[in-house]
Structure 1
Amino acid sequence: MIGLLKFWREALIVVLLLALAGQQVRVAGEKSAHQKTKADNAEVLRVLADKTLKAYQAVVAEDDARKAAVAALDEKHTKELNHEKRKLETLQSDVRAGRVGLRINAKCPAPTGTGVPQAPGATSVVDAGGPRLTDAAERDYFSLRAGIETARQQIAGLQDYVRGVCLK
């Protein structure tokens, strides 16, 4: 035993060296586990980034499709509205030039006792021209037609927008 006590310092150094080696093995294992965790986290982040990118691309594609649908609807209804406006302008110029007349459905009530009765043999004066609207009434007529056509095209455009873009 006395011989063993002589080497206590060397034994202590060996024990300490073995403990230090064990500690280095444990630290190396922790480093390895940390590297694995970092690699796993990096993979999770890569998967999340891929999913986020795909979702973003899908949103952008859907937004582009909606914009294209709106542009197509706008172009369609703008063309139709411009066509109707040209037709109305042509009709208006034809009426002004006398190539076409406006037909008005009107009734003149028969005189009741308060009006001026016609004499049985009275002659009537022939008008130089046929009946026609006053200039103000004619302008109002064409303004109303233009407004009606504009409203019709706007309503049709909104209905197409709801059906083609909002409800998809």
Structure 2
Amino acid sequence: MNLENTSPSTQKGLVGRGALVSLAGLTAVGLGFGIALAVPALRPLFDDGRVGSPDTTEFFWQTLIRIPLGTVLIEEVAFRGVLPALLGAGHRWRWGPVLGAAGLFGLWHLLPSLALVRNAAVDATFGGLPLWTISVPAMLAAAGAGVFLHWWRHTGRSLLAPMAVHLATNSGGPAVAWWVLAHR
């Protein structure tokens, strides 16, 4: 939908819808993290060597500046905004562009997937296997997340919705891991 050709009340409705869908996503991710923290058997999932032991300044830099601007904003604009449009999606749901953008999103996560063995739970489960047997499923999971985030964008009719969920997972996960590691 081209906002230039819509009335101010319709534009306000789209912003409101995006904000509501964003809030729902933030709530779901927060609830998931809360449950994982409440169940002692799930806490090892947050024993992640990629977090390390940053000082407070570094922690806030990563979770409040670098991840939101250097990861979430760039990836959401590219993979949920520009690429689907370039592949022909427009504002409609079309599987070809969605799967194309999601596949590229999965490939984009090749380098991060190589560091997954630094997570204690992943290492305990898959540590003896070749690295590609960890990276390929991780990239497929990222591609699946790409489809979900595009659906979330489509539902909220705004990039705000997938940005909120992406930010909650990418900044919230390290924040919870940092807290768990600090309170062992």
Q: Determine which structure has more spread, i.e. the larger CA radius of gyration.
A: 1
TM above 0.5, one fold?
no
TM-score, normalised relative to structure 2:
0.24
TM-score, normalised relative to structure 1:
0.26
